[in-house]
Amino acid sequence: MSDFQVYDTTLRDGAQQEGISLSVQDKLVIAGHLDDLGVGFIEGGWPGAIPKDTEFFRRAATDLRLKHAQLAAFGATRKAGVRVEEDAQVQALVDSLAPVVTLVAKSDIRHVERALRTTGAENLAMVADTVRHLREHGRRVFLDAEHFFDGYRADPAYAVEVLRTAAEAGAEVVALCDTNGGMLPAELADVVHAVVSASGARVGIHCHNDTGCAVANTLAAVDAGATHVQGTLNGYGERTGNADLVTVVANLEIKRGQQVLPTGRIAEATRIAHAVDEITNVTPYHRRPYTGASSFAHKAGLHASAIKVDPELYNHTDPLRVGNDMRMLVSDMAGRASIELKGRELGFDLAGDRELLGRITDRVKALEAEGYTFEAADASFVLLLHEEVYGFRPSYCSVESWRVITEARTDAGEAVSEATVKLHAGGRRHVATAEGNGPVSALDHALRSALLPVYPELDGIRLSDFKVRIIDASIGTDAVTRVLIETRGPNSVWETVGVGPNIVEASWKALLDGFTYGLLTQDVPSR
């Protein structure tokens, strides 16, 4: 592992993603997760240029207890025409107390002349002076050669000279940056191979994903001799993102047998990837390689039949190696094998009962033809299985009626919904009326109000997400509506589905299923 370095830049480059805004506390928590993953370096930000990052390094000095990683501060070389000792931002890098400093430097002569408005010789002096200054202050120094591949195309001799200058001044790593993300693997590998023997330092790679090749380019660079890889957790980053560091590391460890993290750390990848999604408030990408919820999900009946015999037949690796799990999806593509495996996943042993499996399969396909989907609504599927296996559907009330009225208050400039629910539960009739900021919100409040006196367990259950899809929109307002509701309980999250001729009826079905499943999982006896 000492011959290979894994460098994470989620807190700096990843935080440039549209929609991400991290507090100092967010960054400290994420840094802890990255350390748990076992990366060698965590780039914390740009002290001196961004006040929040200056504060992060101040707090990190006392609040972070890293087991595996070293903290890196990111910054620029001294300004043109300014003595390095007098450059305030260089001094901020020293003051950050980070043991590693990563300097960004121009390696494209066109950027030097047009963006920095200086000469190639002065740019080389800026690199050398800053690296030496930081080394004199006891810092390890890495160089990020910005726009390296574009610069290599324009003037390969100058681009390599920037690397050589940094290495001779004491930089340990020269990372080649595909800043615009425009490279393809074969060409990138050729350039990296040419640079490895000419730079005099450890060569690293930093790829953006504008061609969809960030991970492939990173692996190609490793093949060509790079021994330092940079990336972000979950592929966060500006525009289309950076190389997903988990995917890079998983490919190296699982596919190539090259251990680049401490033993056993890759098994934490899925947990950490999802935890960081929560902190950044980024909706998890279900189809993300290795750690996505759909990474090892199987839908087709043919797949399920093979997986029953041997899970490896349709999984490229054991999902447990990255802390993920295999899932079976139930849809109109499902056969008996899919239903059996999904039932087993949800705690129902359906093996050997061909009549039961056939009946469930037929029912699923009929419901999907009406617009239902169970592949994203496990809780509704559990209720269906319960009904088929045990002969009754769990129920905690008998609904007499429900209604919703939406009133537009023109003087207030808003519309308010009011719902009334009448039901029987606990041997009594209950009538509840509640307002909400929409019809579904009002129904949620009214149903909860009616049931809480009988089932106090509902106090810990909350509707957390709501999705609507119009089925067969070609028939306009007569189209069928499908609603998926996510409900969050004390220790879990579940999804239910409802289908109806309008959004309110579909929502009611999904909402009632959500409450029913929540009580069932808390072992509340049903009627």
Q: Are residues 425 and 333 in the same domain?
A: no
Report the pLDDT value the prediction gives residue 440, as an integer from 0 to 100.
92
String of DSSP letters for 273-333 = HHHHHHHHTPPP-TT-TTTSTTTTEE-SHHHHHHHHH-GGGT-SS-GGGGT---EE--STT
- End of a domain among 248, 280, 312? 280
Residue 289 lies in a domain: no
Residue 286 lies in a domain: no
Q: Are residues 273 and 404 in the same domain?
A: no
Report the pLDDT value the prediction gives residue 493, as an integer from 0 to 100.
86
Report the pLDDT value the prediction gives residue 478, as an integer from 0 to 100.
59
Q: Are residues 302 and 260 in the same domain?
A: no
Q: Are residues 493 and 512 in the same domain?
A: yes
Q: Are residues 498 and 526 in the same domain?
A: yes
Residue 331 lies in a domain: yes
Quick one: tokens of 411?
A: 């003087």
Q: Find the CATH number of the domain harbouring 434.
A: 3.30.160
**CB-neighbour burial class of residue 522 (10 A; exposed 0-12, middle 13-18, buried 19+):** middle
- pTM for the predicted model, two decimal places: 0.70
Report the pLDDT value the prediction gives residue 2, as an integer from 0 to 100.
62
Residue 202 lies in a domain: yes
Single-letter amino acid code for the residue at 190: D
Q: Are residues 255 and 272 in the same domain?
A: yes
Residues paired with 189 in a beta bridge: none
Report the pLDDT value the prediction gives residue 257, as an integer from 0 to 100.
94
Report the pLDDT value the prediction gives residue 298, as an integer from 0 to 100.
61
Q: Are residues 200 and 305 in the same domain?
A: no
Report the pLDDT value the prediction gives residue 511, as an integer from 0 to 100.
95
Residues near 62 by beta carbon (within 8 Å), at least 6 away in sequence: none
Residue pLDDT, tens place only, 131-149 = 999 999 999 999 999 999 9
Q: Are residues 152 and 37 in the same domain?
A: yes
Report the pLDDT value the prediction gives residue 420, as an integer from 0 to 100.
97
Which residue is listed with tokens 């080649």?
A: 176
Helix (H) or strand (E) holding 183: none
Q: Are residues 413 and 269 in the same domain?
A: no
Q: Could you tell me the residue range of the domain that residue 148 belongs to?
A: 5-280
Residue pLDDT, tens place only, 55-95 = 999 999 999 999 999 999 999 999 999 999 999 999 999 99
Distance of alpha carbon 295 from alpha carbon 286, whole angstroms:
7
Residue 26 lies in a domain: yes
Which residues does the chain have with pLDDT short of 70? 1-2, 297-314, 325-338, 375-376, 410-413, 472-478
Residue 288 lies in a domain: no
- End of a domain among 413, 433, 454? 454
Q: How many domains does the chain have?
A: 4
